[in-house]
Structure formats: structure tokens, C-alpha cells
Amino acid sequence: MYRAFVYILTNKPHGVLYTGMCNDTLIRRIWQHRTKAFRGFTAKYNCTRLVYYEAHDHVTLAAERERRMKRWHRAWKIDLIESMNPDWRDLYEDLTV
């Protein structure tokens, strides 16, 4: 079982990108973003669409990956998203089925 996730949210295809990490259930964390449970970047820019995620066995690995990805150029993040999700579908729906 995975212990942590790194994910990217957006407000629309090729829109604002937010990179985050959670050390618990990905579904619950994305739901918090979608319902704007916290006031912050994702609430301000309406980043509610999960377009990329990856699972990690260790929280420390996920945290390091998130730190690195936050420093990436936007084009690199777009390439990463499109390698997994070329249509920019909202992957949250797949997780909740």
C-alpha cells in the first residue's frame, strides 16, 4: 500500500498548475481541494481538476519529488501530465469509481 502521493491540479486544460503532496488518502485530499476546505492557492485559482498523480512507498521520497517538481519549468510539468493524461481528463473521477 502506498503511503504518499504527489499530484498536479489545474483549473482547466493548460491552465494554472498546482503541485502538491499528501501522506494519506489521495481521494480525501483532492476532495478537500474540490470543496475548497482550505483557503489558499487552489481555492483562489479554482484548481480542482486532478490531471496527474504518482504514488510513493515513503513519505520522504514523495516530499523530495514534490520539492523538485515545484522548481520545474511549466513545460516540463505539461510534458509529464501529457505522458499520463494526454486529454487532461479529471482523474479524480477514476479514483472514486
We report the CATH number of the domain holding residue 58 as 3.40.1440.10
**Which pLDDT does position 35 carry in this prediction?**
96
Parent domain of 90: 4-95
How many domains is the chain partitioned into structurally?
A: 1
| SS3 track for 12-45 | CCCCCEEEEEECCCHHHHHHHHHCCCCCCHHHHC
pLDDT per residue, tens digit, the chain (97 aa), is 679 999 999 999 999 999 999 998 999 999 999 999 999 999 999 999 999 999 999 999 999 999 999 999 999 999 999 999 999 999 999 998 8
